[in-house]
Chains A and B, each alone.
Chain A
């Protein structure tokens, strides 16, 4: 994340794609509001895919990744720091402004808080898994398309738990089970995925 434009881009992408859905599906508010949880979550997934594909690219090109790899600290911890910074600039921001987009798609009021909360937890997983995809493909030319193939299947549970939590909240159910599952996924990913990221980065440095 080198400039404010880098931070604004995923939000703009989110905004643009959210605009496309009413144009594609028709402006019927009722229909939009039933589709809103899925639409918002899929768009969040895509925008996280887009921004994390280049997460390690500049570090790889200017050689600072090699410096990190030979630093006297575990690479996984250093990577976790980098991913946290990335998340604060992308996933966290996206989750915070998501109620705005929820309102635009006619998501009922009582669903907005759960949308924000589920994205807050879910983007942690999305960012970590995206970072792993970026680490695996950073040394490959044209790695972007390959990365979506690697990452999307792994993100399926996050998407399911997230959309289900929001849908439950809308129909007046209790979303806490699904939020708890999302939280569990986030904690598990925080513990394990940095190890995979550091292993993948070392592989990429060998390529």
Chain B
């Protein structure tokens, strides 16, 4: 176990290891995405109230779930890099931030598209929408802070501090936005209640969530590999790999 963690910190070893992981994970992701999308969009029955428009949840919900989980991945990597000063943790954090931001944006945009036929408006200041918007700002803050620093080692530590503060704050933000919304609940918009979702719709959704987790992992790994190649473009081990290939 410890030797594995120790090896993870070494860029050449990680580069080889992540290459193998991506080689298997990328096809798996594509298969999961294709099966989940086909199942959700073609096979699952239409909703009796919303018709076919509900099918956007097969993109919306997985993106939202993984966007939130991605923040914790980023903050965990940040904590590891702050405490143990492991370079690879910096790279992980830096690679996860833009992916998470994009997923949050996808969740917001698909939510707006779904809102138009369902609630009759593109945007409402609903608790969950508002929380996702704040999550997007938190992600963008980390990305922008990293870009603003000239010394990239310091940048990674600054982002680690910021994402840890954000992690402590996220549950408070979510809870406060929840209370705020329940106090100001507008009467004009009727929300469909939290009805239990039927298993014929739930299984493809779960599959899509799994697919999005894989997609997140693959994208972050590819991002990290690109970063490694750039950082070690002069290193011997990389040039040797290029020569072998």
Which A residues contact B (CB, under 8 angstroms)?
Answer: 132, 136-137, 139-140, 143, 146, 149-150, 152-154, 156-157, 160-161, 164, 185, 192-193, 196, 199-200, 203-204, 206-207
How many residues on the B side are at the interface (Cβ–Cβ under 8 A)? 32
Within 8 A of A (CB), among B153-202: 153-155, 157-158, 161-162, 164-166, 168-169, 172-173, 175-177, 179-180, 183
Residue contact A146 to B148, C-beta cutoff 8 Å: yes
Residue contact B140 to A149, C-beta cutoff 8 Å: yes
Q: Assuming the A-B contacts A196-B164, A199-B161, A207-B150, are A157 and B145 also in contact, with contact meaning beta carbons closer than 8 angstroms in the complex?
A: no
Which B residues contact A (CB, under 8 angstroms)?
Answer: 82, 134, 137-138, 140-141, 144-145, 148-151, 153-155, 157-158, 161-162, 164-166, 168-169, 172-173, 175-177, 179-180, 183
**CB-defined A-B contacts under 8 Å, sample of 14:** A136-B161, A137-B148, A146-B144, A149-B137, A154-B165, A156-B134, A157-B169, A157-B173, A160-B177, A161-B176, A200-B158, A203-B157, A204-B154, A207-B151
Provide the main secondary structure of the chain B interface. helix
Residue contact A206 to B153, C-beta cutoff 8 Å: yes
Residue contact A154 to B151, C-beta cutoff 8 Å: no
Residue contact A207 to B169, C-beta cutoff 8 Å: no
Query: Whole-angstrom distance from the CB of A200 to the nearest CB of chain B?
Result: 5
Query: Whole-angstrom distance from the CB of B144 to the nearest CB of chain A?
Result: 6
| Assembly CA distance A186 to B169 (angstroms) | 13
Q: Assuming the A-B contacts A140-B149, A146-B145, A153-B137, are A204 and B176 also in contact, with contact meaning beta carbons closer than 8 angstroms in the complex?
A: no
| Assembly CA distance A180 to B158 (angstroms) | 32
**Which A residues are in CB contact (< 8 Å) with B169?**
153-154, 157
